Amino acid sequence: MLYNNSVQYWSSGEWMESMDNHFPNLPEIYAYKGMGEFHFRNISSSSMYFIYETKDHIPKFTVRFIMHKSGDLRLYVSTGNRWSLIWSKPGDLCDVYDVCGAYGVCNGNNTQFCRCLEGFMPKHNCSWSSEEWWSSGCIRLSPLQCSANNGTTDRFLEMSDKSLPHEQSVPYIREKTLDGCHNACLNNCSCTAFALSSSTPPTCRLWLGSLSNLRDSSDGQPFFVRLAASDFDSSLSKKRIGIALRTILAPAVGAFIAVLALFALFIWWKREELSTEGREDGMPTSLPIFTYSQLQTATRNFKHKMGSGAFGSVFEGTLPDNTLVAVKKLDSSIQAEKQFRAEINTIGNIHHVNLVRLLGFCIEGSQRLLVYEYVSNGSLDSSLFGMSDGEPKVLDWKTRFQIALGTARALVYLHEKCKDCIIHCDIKPENILLDEDLCPKLADFGLAKIMDRDFSKVLTTTRGTRGYLAPEWIDGLPITTKVDVYSFGVTMLEIITGRRNMEAIVQESSMHFFTTWAATQIYEEKVVAIVDANIVGNADMEEVRRAAMAGVLCIQEDPDSRPTMVQVLQMLEGTMESHAPEFQEVEEDRYSIV
């Protein structure tokens, strides 16, 4: 396999004209040769194909080879309604050339294979976070100042736990000292990194242009990456190497640290004094605790309201370090107090790229405020159903599908990957926020509930929004994660259709409610009939079909018949087949409101 038609990063080995000797790098497939076989097929005197064909006597057995978007070759086997991955090459995804893109670091032992070097951030944050486009790589947090200041404002960060970047032609120069190698790179605006070999005599290597094929390595040789001086803040202080800093006298550093420690001790004492009330009330102390005065200043006395709900309003604010935040100021009521505690006890202790981050809270007297990361593009309902200059807003299908995938991943995390199972209880477009890259972030955990995984607790109070409520809320049945699955299904159908679930559909002189109409069209294999007319010509209909099937499976009345969110995600990703359920007439007023 070749990268960019030039760099080979994997080979199967040569075909040896024998089934017992063929392809030395494909041994794992031998276990499946009883189901099929490799052979050549002559097409003409000058060409032939190498083919893997299944044997006729194997019932319902299908295989497919694909070149995955991540750059590896994969073999899937299906013996029913599910595809199983049985083989892939290269075995280590980090062996795929440039899999993490420019300035990306690969680690085959982590669930998240790729991350950015210190001083860099993902070029396309949403795609990177959802593992869709790692090869897009990373970009600098701050631009270099080399050309403007002859390189004097750039610094170098030492990397010692990574393999050297791959470059087919890295120039060697005669410098034999670290300082000399450093200066040679600093004075060349095209130089992005340097390393001094441990050989005798040592040699200096300079990297010109983007760094690629980086990977974690316990025995990596130290090398130094060029960054803007402004990047050398507290987050990089432990790895700072700025050679000029080596000349600072140790006593001066010691005195500075002593003063800093005394100041930190004073700040800690003040925060402890202010946070006593929060600790006594059972609030988690791992989150920063803000004073009411601090949040008044951050929001300019709650000047810019971003939105409001049943129990409070959200205001835009800016922290002293210029971080934009959203501050939710809750009303003084028993229900608002419950929502305040629910938010802190759920999202305050977890982190996921598709969950809005809670940055801190304030609890002073009757004041209850929550501080969240600022999400710039508002909620999904505004982008999906809103207007702009008198015209409907239109999200393209690719963006809608990525929003559905991200939301599904968030729910998988809440249901399956947290220490305790968290049921959100209010999935709807209003609670799905979109960042600057239109990456979804699930928000508003005021109704969320932490449950034991055996669901031994019983929820007695109906939670959620009508139109998205699962039938078991109304019937008084046990509440499990399947209520979130149901609400996600309704939201999924709204994403496909661009319609609110409370809309009544007039068809052939009859009136139908949204979910009944959508389920009927999908059951009758008329998926295209439900697609938003604004995107139907540009939508990937295979993705639409998978999303529609997943949506209609999610809204089945019997919770046991609904898939889990893990299965929903697999359906959306195409690794699990989905089929429309047996059609059932439903009580329409349970699904929507007019």
Beta bridge partners of 87: 75
- One-letter identity of residue 577: E
Question: How many whole angstroms separate alpha carbon 513 and alpha carbon 503?
Answer: 7
What confidence category does residue 311 fall into, taking pLDDT thresholds of 50, 70 and 90? confident
Rounded mean pLDDT of 192-208? 86
Query: Does residue 503 carry a pLDDT above 70?
Result: no
Per-residue model confidence (pLDDT) at position 51: 67
- Higher-confidence position of 318 and 514: 318
Question: How many whole angstroms separate alpha carbon 224 and alpha carbon 160?
Answer: 9
Beta-carbon contacts of 506 under 8 Å, excluding residues fewer than 6 positions away, are 512
Per-residue model confidence (pLDDT) at position 432: 96
Per-residue model confidence (pLDDT) at position 459: 59
User: How confident is the model over 45-58, as pLDDT tens digits?
Assistant: 666 666 666 666 55
Angle at 84 between CA 83 and CA 85, to 5 degrees: 125
DSSP for 243-278, please give it: GGGGGS-HHHHHHHHHHHHHHHHHHHHHHHHHHHHH
Q: Write out 118-156 in H/E/C secondary structure.
A: CCEEECCHHHHHCCCCHHHCEEECCCCCHHHHCCCCEEE
Total number of domains constituting the chain = 4
Examine the domain organization and report whether 406 and 501 are in the same domain.
yes
Does a structural domain hold residue 102? no
Question: How many whole angstroms separate alpha carbon 173 and alpha carbon 32?
Answer: 53
Examine the domain organization and report whether 401 and 538 are in the same domain.
yes
Examine the domain organization and report whether 459 and 392 are in the same domain.
yes
Q: Any idea what the CATH number is for the domain that residue 504 is in?
A: 1.10.510.10
Look-up of token digits 């750039």: 154
Question: How many whole angstroms separate alpha carbon 528 and alpha carbon 545?
Answer: 8
What confidence category does residue 176 fall into, taking pLDDT thresholds of 50, 70 and 90? confident
Q: Any idea what the CATH number is for the domain that residue 131 is in?
A: 3.50.4.10
Query: Does residue 378 carry a pLDDT above 70?
Result: yes
What is the set of active-site residues? Answer: 426
User: How confident is the model over 31-44, as pLDDT tens digits?
Assistant: 454 556 666 666 66
Query: Does residue 511 carry a pLDDT above 70?
Result: no
Record the pTM. Answer: 0.58
Number of continuous H segments (helices) and E segments (strands) in the chain: 13, 30
Total residues found in the chain within this entry: 594
Give CA 385 to chain center in angstroms.
24
Examine the domain organization and report whether 167 and 87 are in the same domain.
no
Query: Does residue 587 carry a pLDDT above 70?
Result: no
Examine the domain organization and report whether 124 and 28 are in the same domain.
no
Per-residue model confidence (pLDDT) at position 97: 80
Look-up of token digits 């441990």: 198
Q: Which residue among 328, 344, 373 closes a domain? A: 373
Per-residue model confidence (pLDDT) at position 474: 81
Q: Which residue among 329, 358, 373 closes a domain? A: 373
Does a structural domain hold residue 440? yes
Q: Residues of the chain with pLDDT > 70: what percent?
A: 70
Query: Does residue 236 carry a pLDDT above 70?
Result: no
Is-contact 162 105, C-beta < 8 A? yes
User: How confident is the model over 100-130, as pLDDT tens digits?
Assistant: 888 988 887 665 678 888 888 888 766 665 5
Give me 38's structure tokens. 């490799």
Does a structural domain hold residue 12? yes
Query: Does residue 501 carry a pLDDT above 90?
Result: no
Beta-carbon contacts of 468 under 8 Å, excluding residues fewer than 6 positions away, are 426, 427, 428, 486, 487, 490, 491, 501
Examine the domain organization and report whether 134 and 277 are in the same domain.
no
Rounded mean pLDDT of 469-481? 86
Per-residue model confidence (pLDDT) at position 100: 86
DSSP for 283-341, please give it: --TTS-B--HHHHHHHTTTTTSEEEEETTEEEEEEE-TT--EEEEEEE-SSHHHHHHHH
Examine the domain organization and report whether 475 and 405 are in the same domain.
yes
Q: Where are the beta strands (DSSP E) in 17-119?
A: 36-44, 47-54, 62-67, 73-78, 83-89, 104-106, 114-116
Examine the domain organization and report whether 321 and 400 are in the same domain.
no
Output phi, psi for 332, to 5 deg.
-90, 90
Whole-number average pLDDT of the chain: 78
What confidence category does residue 553 fall into, taking pLDDT thresholds of 50, 70 and 90? very high
Does a structural domain hold residue 98? no
Angle at 571 between CA 569 and CA 572, to 5 degrees: 65
Query: Does residue 144 carry a pLDDT above 70?
Result: yes
Q: How far is CA 286 from CA 289, 345, 360, 443, in A?
A: 9, 11, 9, 20
Rounded mean pLDDT of 568-589? 70
Which residue segment(s) compose the domain that 67 sits in?
2-91
Does a structural domain hold residue 103? no
Query: Does residue 278 carry a pLDDT above 70?
Result: no
Does a structural domain hold residue 409? yes
Q: Which residue among 59, 91, 123 closes a domain? A: 91
Rounded mean pLDDT of 224-230? 87
Rounded mean pLDDT of 524-549? 91
Rounded mean pLDDT of 87-96? 77
Q: Any idea what the CATH number is for the domain that residue 347 is in?
A: 3.30.200.20
Examine the domain organization and report whether 77 and 152 are in the same domain.
no
Question: How many whole angstroms separate alpha carbon 325 and alpha carbon 222?
Answer: 38
Output phi, psi for 246, to 5 deg.
-65, -20
Per-residue model confidence (pLDDT) at position 272: 47
**Percentages helix, strand, coil for the chain, rounded to the nearest 5?**
30, 25, 45
Question: How many whole angstroms separate alpha carbon 235 and alpha carbon 383?
Answer: 35
Query: Does residue 310 carry a pLDDT above 50?
Result: yes
Examine the domain organization and report whether 210 and 299 are in the same domain.
no
Rounded mean pLDDT of 219-248? 61
Query: Does residue 498 carry a pLDDT above 80?
Result: yes
Per-residue model confidence (pLDDT) at position 248: 41
Examine the domain organization and report whether 403 and 517 are in the same domain.
yes
Examine the domain organization and report whether 129 and 215 are in the same domain.
yes
Among residues 583, 549, 587, 584, the alpha carbon closest in space to that of 568 is found at 549
Does a structural domain hold residue 82? yes
Query: Does residue 132 carry a pLDDT above 70?
Result: no
**For 85-89, 397-401, 418-422, 431-435, which range has the lowest pLDDT when averaged over its residues?**
85-89
Instruction: Give, to the nearest 10 degrees, the angle between helix 482-497 and helix 397-412.
Output: 170
Does a structural domain hold residue 342? yes
Per-residue model confidence (pLDDT) at position 3: 72
